[in-house]
Structure 1
Amino acid sequence: MNALINLLLFLLPILSSFWIAQTFNPLSSYQPLQAVDGAALYKKQLTNGNEAYLQVINLGKMHIDQITGEVDNMGLKEGKYYQGEGQYYSPFFQNKLFSEVTDEYQKLYANNVFSMINCSFFEQYQSSTQLSFPIKLNGVVITGGTSPYGPIKKPKDKYYNNIRLKTLVWDDKQAYITDYNQASGAPLNQKAVKNAIVTYRYSDHPAKVLAQNQANKYQVIGTLNKDGVKGDELLLIMTVNQATLDEAADLLRKLGVKGDIITVDGGRSTFLFNFQKGNIIVPQLSNLQENPTFRHLPHYLGFRKKSKNQVAPKISIAQPIGKVLPKKDQPYLILWRDNFDGDVSIKLYDGNKLIQNISSRTASDGVYEWTPRISVTEGYFIRISSRKDRNIFGQLQL
């Protein structure tokens, strides 16, 4: 009898968990819109005719691309958050029209594309803009951030004197959200961290802190472990069209997210694109003028399947609005987009004359920090070429 009782006591938690799993499905109130191997998009009807859109991204099967506009100005010593105020650069990135970005992304990756969202907060509403907080792109910290609403010496509101910014870090297996240290740059200063964005915990967003938690368009992000192996392999992105940040975060909590929840750029800039459904939420026109100010954004995240590419290899470089001339002994970011895994070479030319071999071999990952040791003359151009096929190249006119 004692053996039977012990067996029942052992089995009870297992049976209870199984029964709960069978009777409660947190996604049961969501309408599936698209599912591929590694990602899914759902829609949930909220009160008063509002909607929420949930993306579930499995990082073991999906790849995340960070897409920025080209550099218009390096913003030398203007970075406030990476390794101390004024210790790093904070470039002005050209704002890119959301439709142009999605078109280019689909041309590069065809049917592998799943979705795209806008991401980092930005500072200026003009042709190019600085980003609010640091970003690491494929191993390179590309901006130190300039936001006046954060833990700097003189923030615009005293609430932000001591807030703790958060970092979303991801690789090809998992993602996690952790504290950011603006004095050391951790975790972005770690070599193992290749891609990361710094942003607010949802509850520290100025819309909640300073604007009475108003309902608006928002994007909140959390991570989740569903395979039983250590590490959160799922990235959950919730996009709401009219809700408070608390309500948006609560939707993720109900799906099982237990750790930190962050928010990225929202409001009138909010953008959600899906390959099958098209533009679901698009940035709005400005109420103050006819120009589509909020439709041009500086930083996006694209999500695509890791399977082999289905289109011809290509290198894409768009010319920024103003030509930025690299300066001797000062850092300069070379940015491009491509759709192949092989290495590239980067060279500086004056017409047909080779001026400098900037890098004979570097990864085709879209970013290279160059500090020229020579004077660069207007009219030179930078050529990025595939190492496998020199006929595959892109050029940036200086």
Structure 2
Amino acid sequence: MNVVINLLLFLLPILSSLWIAQSFNPLSSYQTLQTIDGAAIYKKELTNGNEAYLQVIDLRKLQIDQITGEVDNMGLNEGKYYKGEGGHYSPFFKTKLFSEVTDEYKNLYANNVFSMINCSFFEQYESSSQLSFPIKLNGVVISGGTSPYGPIKQPKDKYYSNIHLKALVWNSKQAYITDYDQVSGSPLNQNAVKNAIVTYRYSDHPAKVLAQNQANKYQVMGTLNKDGVKGDELLLIMTVNQATLDEAADLLRKLGVKGDIITVDGGRSTYLFNSQSGNIIVPQLSNSQENSAFRDLPHYLGLRKKTKNQVAPKILISQPVNKVLAKKDQPYLILWRDNLNGDVSIKLYDGNKLIQNISSRTASDGVYEWTPRISVKEGYFIRISSWKDRNIFGQLQL
């Protein structure tokens, strides 16, 4: 009899936890908009007619692409948050209309596209802009960031003197959020880290700290482990159309997120596209209604299935706002988008004349840091070609 009683006492907590897990579904208050293998997007009605949109992304099955405009100016030695102040460049990236970026992404990946959002904070509401904080794109730190609202020597507000910026790091298996060190550049300085963005913990966003936590459009992110194996394989992205940052973060907490929660660019430039629902939230015009300051953005995240692409191979490059002349012995970023399965070659031409073989073979990952060792003349152009088929190429006029 004692054996039976002891067995029941042992099993009771386990059975209770199973019953609670089955009876409480944190997604029960969300409406499903689309689910595919490895991703889902849900809608939740908030108070006063406001809405929240949740994306649950399994990084083992979905690819996250960083999309930036071409470089307009390298901003040499202007970086403030990588290798110390002035230790890295902070380029001006061409700001691109959200619809143009989405159409291009669908052109490259067609039915594999799941969603797209705007991402990094940016500094200038102009035809090209620097980014607020560092990002690493396929192994290259392409910006050192320039925000005056961060832990630099003379921030615009003393609150930011001692905050810890956060880095979201991801790969094909998992994601994590950790403290960022702007002097060493850790973890972005690690070779194993290929893609990462640096940003605020949600509670350090200026809208919360300096603007009394006003309700607005925001995007917050957290990571979650659901398979029991070490490492968070799920990335959760919550987009709200009229809520405070505290409310947005609390929605992720209720879904089980226990670690840090970060925020990315929001407000009027908030963008959320889904392949089934279309444009859910679009960037707004500025107050004057005369320009597209909040509709043209420098940095996006595209999410797509990793399955085989059925679209013809393409390499896409668009001209920056101004003609950029790469300078001898100074770094220059060559950026492009493609859907190739193989590598590319990168060459410098003057008309039909080959001037330099920049790289005979490199990964088709959309970024190459080039330091010319020769004088580059106006009128030269860079050609990126498929290594397998030289008839597939894109060109950038210098």
Partner AA of 2:378 in structure 1:
E
Counterpart-to-counterpart distance in 1, 2:392 and 2:289: 41
Query: Does residue 34 in structure 1 map to residue 30 in structure 2?
Result: no
Shift of 1:22: 1.1
Matches within 5 A, 1:74-223: 74-223=74-223
Q: Which amino acid aligns with 2:61?
A: K
Please give the secondary structure, in 2, of the residue aligned with 1:342: coil
Match of 1:46 in 2: 46
Amino acid at match of 2:41: L
The SS at the match of 1:246 is helix
Cα deviation, residue 81, structure 1 = 0.2
- The equivalent residue for 1:335 is 335
Q: Does 1:324 align with 2:324?
A: yes
SS in 2 for 1:300: strand
Q: Give the letter aligned to residue 229 of structure 2.
A: V
| Secondary structure in structure 1 of the residue aligned to 2:100 | helix
Quote the residue 1:292 is aligned against.
292
Q: What is the number of equivalent residue pairs in this alignment? A: 398
Q: 1:128 & 1:21 partners in 2: Cα distance?
A: 49
More deviation, 6-15/249-258: 6-15
What 5-or-longer segments of structure 1 have no aligned partner? none
- Show the counterpart of 1:72: 72
Task: Report matched runs for 1:208-357 at 5 Å.
Answer: 208-357=208-357
Equivalents in 1 of 2:145, 2:69: separation in Å? 15
2:15 is the alignment partner of 1:15: yes
> Matched residues, percent identical?
87
What is the Cα deviation at residue 341 of structure 1?
A: 2.4
Query: How far did 1:293 drift?
Result: 1.2
TM-score under structure 2 normalisation? 0.99
Measure the CA separation in 2 of the matches of 1:393 and 1:169: 31
**Per the alignment, in what secondary structure is the counterpart of residue 207 of structure 1?**
helix
Match of 1:395 in 2: 395
Partner in structure 2 of residue 379 of structure 1: 379
The answer to which of 381-390 and 198-207 deviates more is 381-390
Q: In structure 2, how many angstroms separate the alpha carbons of the residues matched to 1:10 and 1:354?
A: 77
Shift of 1:199: 0.1
Cα distance, 1:291 vs structure 2: 1.2
Deviations 1:202-221 (A, max 9, x none): 00000000000000000000
Q: Which moved more, 1:10-19 or 1:377-386?
A: 10-19
CA distance in 2, matches of 1:13, 1:338: 53
3-state secondary structure, aligned to 1:293: coil
Q: TM-score, normalised by structure 1?
A: 0.99
- What secondary structure sits across from 1:248 in the alignment? helix
Shift, 1:289, TM fit? 3.9
The 1-side partners of 2:183 and 2:9 are apart by 52
Q: 3-state SS of the aligned residue for 2:168?
A: strand
Write the letter of the residue equivalent to 1:150: G
Q: Over aligned residue pairs, what C-alpha RMSD do you find?
A: 0.7
Q: Distance in 2 between matches of 1:203 and 1:394?
A: 42
Deviation at 1:271, TM superposition (A): 0.2
Compute the displacement of 1:3 (Å).
Answer: 2.3
Task: Find the residue that maps to 2:16 and give its secondary structure.
Answer: helix
Shift of 1:11: 1.7
User: How far does residue 277 in structure 1 lie from its aligned partner after superposition?
Assistant: 0.6
Using the TM superposition, give the Cα deviation of residue 21 of structure 1 relative to its aligned residue in structure 2, in angstroms. Answer: 1.1
Aligned-residue offset at 1:28: 0.2
Counterpart CA distance in 2 for 1:343 and 1:324 is 25
Distance 2:6 2:319 in 1: 72
* Whole-angstrom CA distance in 2 between matches of 1:239 and 1:347: 42
Aligned AA (1:110)? A
Q: Distance in 2 between matches of 1:255 and 1:52?
A: 13
Aligned-pair CA distance for 1:10: 2.7
SS of equivalent to 2:22: helix
